[in-house]
Each structure stands twice: as C-alpha cells, then as structure tokens.
C-alpha cells in the first residue's frame, strides 16, 4: 500500500480540521492544486486567500478554480509575497483561519519560472504570521524541497524554526522518508487550543 505522499498527507491534515465555511489560506498558490483543494473543503460558504509573486501562478490558479463552478467559495488571490499576509488579509479572519498551506520552492511546469523560488527570510516571516492567523486547533503545513539550489538552506531554516517553537504555541511534527534524504518532506504545526 505504501505511505501517503507529502502532498496527500498535508491535504489529509487540513481535511481533518477544516469545517465548511471556515477561512483558509494558500501561502504559495503555484499551479493552484492546493488552492482548489482548500476551496473544495471550505465550500461555497467559505473564503480562500491565496498568495504568489508570479502572475502566471495566479492565472493558472484562477483557471483551475473554475472547475468548482457554483461550489466556488469567495476567493481572493494576491500578487504579493506571503510575508505581507498580516497586512493584506481581512482583520476578521485573524485567529479564525482553519488552515494555512505552504508548498515551497519554484513554480513547476516552465523552465523560466524555476529561478523564482521561496526564500528563507520571507518564508519565516510568513510562517510566523500564519501562526497568528490560525484559530486554535488550526493547521499550518509546509512542504519542503532540498533538491534545487537554495532548497536545502531554506528547508534547514524552516526545520530549525519549527524545532524552536514553544510547545504552548503549537505541536510540531515532521513526516519524512528517512532512507531518502533528498525527497521532499513535510512539517505540520497544530496551533495550541
Ligand atoms: C511549489 S510552488 C507551489 C505549488 C502550489 N501550492 C500548487 O498546488 O500547485 C511554489 C510557489 O511559491 C511561489 N513563491 C515564491 N516566493 C513567494 C513569496 N514570497 N510569496 C508567495 N509565493 C511565493 C512561487 O512563485 C511558486 O509559484
């Protein structure tokens, strides 16, 4: 049967926590796979906020979301760094958000977008913001890649940050294939109730 992929497990963690109608955030919309998943989970009464710094990512995500038709929730996509999350999202979802997903690295599917990657400083700022935005019991998930230039450094910085989180802020776990150190891995943080 095998173990779940990191992407499937990230979705499972979020599915188990998102109630229909709750606000959710995709911090790196990319090709829109995670945004579509979040939109489907929160449903037509919910709201989805998405960030990316590439217009192509927002365009692909907007197109992918159309498959939900009348089930589409309110979706706000921002051509902004996720580091600005707290300045941009509505105040009323701060402390009320069920899930914030990060899928780091570059936009897959086009060679010329591989130079635009997530960077440790803005990623750490955004993850700290995500902890503020989450409701108690909400989930922050981060998919990390070590194979591209800069990836291992970013993954190391994120792992150190999660490792140092006080237990009264949240519970942090790592999901990793220990025989394949180069494979993507997943960190989950559940905000303390
Ligand atoms: C691996 S892709 C995301 C995949 C996406 N979640 C999906 O389901 O297809 C990483 C994305 O992060 C974006 N990115 C890079 N720096 C960013 C930043 N500071 N803020 C938001 N997004 C950023 C890239 O442009 C890229 O589209």
The model's pLDDT over 23-41, given as tens digits with 9 standing for 90+, comes to 999 999 999 999 999 999 9
- Ligand 1 in reach of 25 Cβ (< 6 A): no
pLDDT at 110: 67
* Residue 124 to residue 102: CA distance in whole angstroms: 11
Quick check: CB of 61 below 6 Å from ligand 1? no
Residue nearest to atom 16 of ligand 1 (CA): 118
Ligand 1 contact, 81 CB (< 6 A): yes
pTM of whole model > 0.95?
yes
Find all residues with CB under 8 Å of 59, minimum gap 6, and list them: none
Ligand 1 touching residue 11 (CB < 6 A) = no
Percentage, residues of the chain above pLDDT 70: 98
> Ligand 1 pocket check: which of 118, 128, 145 to mutate, most ligand atoms within 8 Å of Cβ?
118
Distance 105 CA to ligand 1 centre (A): 7
Strand order, beta sheet including 134-144: 74-79, 47-52, 23-26, 97-103, 134-144, 185-191, 170-175
Can you list the residues of the chain whose pLDDT is less than 50? none
């Amino acid at each position: 049967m095998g173990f779940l992929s990191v992407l499937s497990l990230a979705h499972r963690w979020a599915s188990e926590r998102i109630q229909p109608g709750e606000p959710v955030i995709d911090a790196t919309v990319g090709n829109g796979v995670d945004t579509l998943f979040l939109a489907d989970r929160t449903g037509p009464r919910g709201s989805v906020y998405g960030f990316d710094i590439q217009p192509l990512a927002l365009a692909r995500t907007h197109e992918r979301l159309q498959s939900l038709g009348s089930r589409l929730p309110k979706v706000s996509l921002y051509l902004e760094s996720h580091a600005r999350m707290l300045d941009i999202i509505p105040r009323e979802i701060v402390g009320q958000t069920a899930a914030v997903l990060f899928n780091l690295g570059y936009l897959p599917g086009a060679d010329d977008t591989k130079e635009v990657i997530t960077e440790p400083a803005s990623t750490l700022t955004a993850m700290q913001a995500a902890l503020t935005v989450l409701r108690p019991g909400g989930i922050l998930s981060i998919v990390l890649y070590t194979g591209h230039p800069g990836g291992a450094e970013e993954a190391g910085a994120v792992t150190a940050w999660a490792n140092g989180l006080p237990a009264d802020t949240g519970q942090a776990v790592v999901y990793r294939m220990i025989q394949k150190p180069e494979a993507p891995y997943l960190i989950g943080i559940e905000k303390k109730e």
